[in-house]
């Protein structure tokens, strides 16, 4: 796992150390070197696991450490993140195992335009006929098939974006409304999706958290390609701090699910994810770590 962890948004807290330990900044790496470093997302992490209901109408249909979330409604379904190239067929199998039809996926969303979250988009768009929607700032990358973020990593098959959304522009299917919060920094249009779901008779607000500031190895201050990256990153944290989810889900769920997946699978209540670090505290901690990283760049 270590070789891929530097890429995971979830582990950004200790990523700078890891980048250091491996000698130097990743923005000096060639694409081939980056691909080698991210190879884990194409093998063990990309193996699709048995699907399960997380809570309410939200299901896990993704891989061991690359997420894909199905949100079902009476008017068709949302799918958030398509994973890497290796995953779309497994995602379809998982949707069907849960008793749903893949062609009922009507809207395909993404947490952000990095290969490990959108590489399967074009295939899943063909499989489902779904409309692809994304915040405008990530739509360019989706359509270009290129990672246009500061990371500049692997690309994907270009995908037509049917609708470009603005920050806070909600979309509804049946009784479920998904609201995008713009969290720039990790990618220009990184998005945390929020929704209300009814679980065990209780209304719960859930955030699908995709954005945690620039990847390790990215120069944040004085970055010639992204001169306002530090400001953008802080706008992202400001926007995250406005959210108040009861539960949050992540793009790389292996660690947060590790000790509770078996409990979630048998639908234990109160929900095991209510034990996670409270959102406000988690965001404040990550912001502080990012501010420290920025300060260290200035030394």
Binding residues for Zn ion, rule CB under 5 A, total 1
Torsion from C-alpha of 156, 158, 164, 165, nearest 10 degrees? -10
> Could you say which residues in the range 110-169 bind Zn ion, by CB under 5 A?
114
Tokens at 162, concatenated:
């049917």
Determine the residue with CB nearest Zn ion. Answer: 114
Shortest spacing between CB 2 and Zn ion, in angstroms: 17
What DSSP state is assigned to residue 63?
Answer: B
Between residues 7 and 247, which has the closer beta carbon with respect to Zn ion? 7
Report how far residue 287's alpha carbon sits from residue 48's, in angstroms, rounded to the nearest whole number.
Answer: 32
- The closest alpha carbon to 44, from 22, 69, 66, 59, belongs to 66
Between residues 106 and 114, which has the closer beta carbon with respect to Zn ion? 114
Between residues 56 and 120, which has the closer beta carbon with respect to Zn ion? 120
Between residues 116 and 246, which has the closer beta carbon with respect to Zn ion? 116
Q: Which residue has the tokens 């962890």?
A: 5
Shortest spacing between CB 251 and Zn ion, in angstroms: 7
Report how far residue 52's alpha carbon sits from residue 61's, in angstroms, rounded to the nearest whole number.
Answer: 7
Shortest spacing between CB 154 and Zn ion, in angstroms: 11
Query: Residue 34, interface with Zn ion (CB under 5 A)?
Result: no
Between residues 34 and 92, which has the closer beta carbon with respect to Zn ion? 34
Helices (H), 133-184: 136-144
Q: Taking the CA of residue 106 as centre, how many other CA atoms within 13 Å lie in the half-sphere pointing to its CB?
A: 13
User: Would you tell me how many other CB atoms lie within 10 Å of the CB of residue 50?
Assistant: 11
Stretch that binds Zn ion, among 42-50, 100-108, 109-117, 119-127 (CB under 5 A): 109-117
21 exposure class (CB count in 10 Å sphere: 0-12, 13-18, 19+)? exposed
Shortest spacing between CB 254 and Zn ion, in angstroms: 15
Shortest spacing between CB 181 and Zn ion, in angstroms: 16
What DSSP state is assigned to residue 12?
Answer: G
Angle at which helices 88-97 and 121-128 cross, to 10°: 40
Between residues 79 and 84, which has the closer beta carbon with respect to Zn ion? 84
Shortest spacing between CB 271 and Zn ion, in angstroms: 26
Q: Which residues bind Zn ion (CB under 5 A)?
A: 114
């Amino acid at each position: 796992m270590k070789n891929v962890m530097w890429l995971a948004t979830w582990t950004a807290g200790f990523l700078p150390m890891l980048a250091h330990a491996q000698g130097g900044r990743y923005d000096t790496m060639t694409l081939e070197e980056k691909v080698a470093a991210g190879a884990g997302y194409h093998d063990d992490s990309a193996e699709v696991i048995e699907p399960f209901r997380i809570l309410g109408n939200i299901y896990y249909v993704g891989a061991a450490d690359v997420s894909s979330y199905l949100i079902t409604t009476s008017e068709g379904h949302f799918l958030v993140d398509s994973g890497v190239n290796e995953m779309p067929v497994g995602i379809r199998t998982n949707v069907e195992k849960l008793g749903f039809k893949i062609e009922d996926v009507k809207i395909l969303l993404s947490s952000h335009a990095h290969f490990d979250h959108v590489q399967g988009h074009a295939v899943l768009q063909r499989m489902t006929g779904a409309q692809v929607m994304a915040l405008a700032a990530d739509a360019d990358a989706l359509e270009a098939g290129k990672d246009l973020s500061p990371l500049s990593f692997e690309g994907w098959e270009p995908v037509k974006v049917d609708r470009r959304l603005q920050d806070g522009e909600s979309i509804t299917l049946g009784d479920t409304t998904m609201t995008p919060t713009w969290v720039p920094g990790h990618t220009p249009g990184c998005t945390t999706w929020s929704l209300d779901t009814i679980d065990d008779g209780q209304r719960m607000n859930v955030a699908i958290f995709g954005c945690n500031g620039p990847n390790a190895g990215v120069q944040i201050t004085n970055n010639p390609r992204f001169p306002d990256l530090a400001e953008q990153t802080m706008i992202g944290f400001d926007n995250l701090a406005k959210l108040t989810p009861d539960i949050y889900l992540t793009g790389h769920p292996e660690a947060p699910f590790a000790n509770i997946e078996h409990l979630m699978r048998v639908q234990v209540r109160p929900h095991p994810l209510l034990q996670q670090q409270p959102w406000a505290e988690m965001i404040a901690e990550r912001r502080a770590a990012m501010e420290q990283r920025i300060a260290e760049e200035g030394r």
